[in-house]
Structure 1
Amino acid sequence: MKEKEKRVLVGMSGGIDSSAVCILLQEQGYEVVGVTMRTWDVPSHFSTPGQEQPDDVLEAQRLAARLGIEHHVADVRKEFRQVIVQYFIDEYMRGRTPNPCVMCNPLFKERILCEWADRTNCAYIATGHYCRLEDRNGYRYIVTGDDSTKDQSYFLWKLPQAILRRMMFPLGGMTKASVRDYLASKGFEAKARGGESMEICFIDKDYREFLREHCPDIDERIGEGWFVDSKGIKLGKHKGFAYYTIGQRKGLEIALGKPAYVLKINPEKNTVMLGDAEQLRTRYMLVEDVNVADREELTACPDLSVRIRYRSRPISCRVLWLEDGRLLVKFAEEASAIAPGQSAVFYEGNRVLGGGFIASQQGIKKIAAEKEMLFQNSF
Structure 2
Amino acid sequence: MSERVVVCLSGGVDSSVAAALLVDAGHEVIGVFMRSGVSGEATGEKQGCCSVEDAMDARRVADLLGIPFYALDFADGFDRLVDRFVEDYARGRTPNPCVLCNRWLKFGRVLRFAREVGARRVASGHYARVVRSGERWTVARGRDASKDQSYVLSVLEQEQLAALLLPLGELRKAEVRAEAARRGLARVAEKRDSQEICFVPGDYRDLLRRRLPASADALRPGEVRDLAGVRLGEHAGTAGFTVGQRKGLGIAAPRPLYVQRTDPGRRLVVVGPREALARGGLEAVDATWLAACPADGEELPGRVQLRAHGRSHPATVARTPTGFRVRFAAPTEGAVPGQVAAVYDPRDEHLLCSGWIERVLVE
Are 1:174 and 2:171 matched, yes or no?
Answer: yes
Instruction: Give the AA of the match of 2:356.
Output: F
**Mapping of 1:183-262 within 5 angstroms?**
183-215=180-212, 217=214, 222-262=219-259
Q: For the residues of structure 1 that align with 2:232 and 2:115, how far apart are their CA atoms?
A: 57
Q: Tell me by how many angstroms 1:220 deviates.
A: 7.7
What's the counterpart of residue 266 of structure 1?
Answer: 263
Between 110-119 and 169-178, the greater mean CA deviation after superposition: 110-119
3-state DSSP of counterpart to 1:97: coil
Instruction: Give me the whole-angstrom Cα distance separating, in 2, the residues matched to 1:219 and 1:268.
Output: 9
What is the CA deviation profile of residues 58-84 of structure 1, one whole-angstrom value per residue up to 9, with x for unaligned ones?
222222222221111101123311x10
1:259 deviates by: 1.3
Following superposition, the deviation at residue 300 of structure 1 comes to 5.1
Paired with 1:12 and 1:39, the residues of 2 have a C-alpha distance of 14
In structure 2, how many angstroms separate the alpha carbons of the residues matched to 1:108 and 1:20? 21
Name stretches of at least 5 consecutive residues in structure 2 with no aligned partner. 45-50
Q: Which residue of 1 aligns with 2:318?
A: 320
CA–CA separation in structure 2 for the residues paired with 1:201 and 1:148? 25
Match of 2:159 in 1: 162
Q: Specify which of 137, 141, 144 is matched with residue 138 of structure 2.
A: 141
**How many residue pairs were aligned?**
353
Of residues 230-239 and 308-317 in structure 1, the stretch that sits farther from structure 2 once superposed is 230-239
Is this contact kept in 2: 1:299–1:318, CA < 8 A? Answer: no
Question: Cα deviation per residue 1:297-352 (whole Å; 9 max; x = unaligned)?
Answer: 995544x1001122211100002233x42422111122014210011100012101
Cα 1:307–1:209 change in 2 (3 A) is same
Match of 2:126 in 1: 129
Q: Which of these two proteins has the greater Rg computed from alpha carbons?
A: 1
Q: Which residue does 1:360 correspond to in 2?
A: 359
Partner AA of 1:139 in structure 2: R
Given the two structures, how large is their TM-score scaled by the length of structure 2? Answer: 0.91
Partner of 1:104: helix, strand, or coil?
Answer: helix
Report the Cα offset of residue 216 of structure 1: 6.3
Q: Measured at CA, do residues 214 and 325 of structure 1 come closer, stay the same or move farther in structure 2, by a change above 3 Å?
A: closer
Q: Counterpart of 1:69 in structure 2: which amino acid? A: I
**Does 1:111 pair with 2:108?**
yes
Match of 2:280 among 283, 289, 300: 283
- Verify the 8 A CA contact 2:218 2:265 in the aligned structure 1: no
Contact 1:287 1:356 in 2 (8 A): yes
Identical aligned residues as a percent? 35
Secondary structure of 1:58's partner?
helix
Query: 1:8, 1:126 within 8 Å by CA — same for their partners in 2?
Result: yes
Between 1:8-17 and 1:213-222, the stretch displaced more is: 213-222
Matches within 5 A, 1:39-118: 39-45=36-42, 54-81=52-79, 83-118=80-115
Tell me how far apart the structure 2 counterparts of residues 43 and 21 of structure 1 sit (CA, whole Å): 25
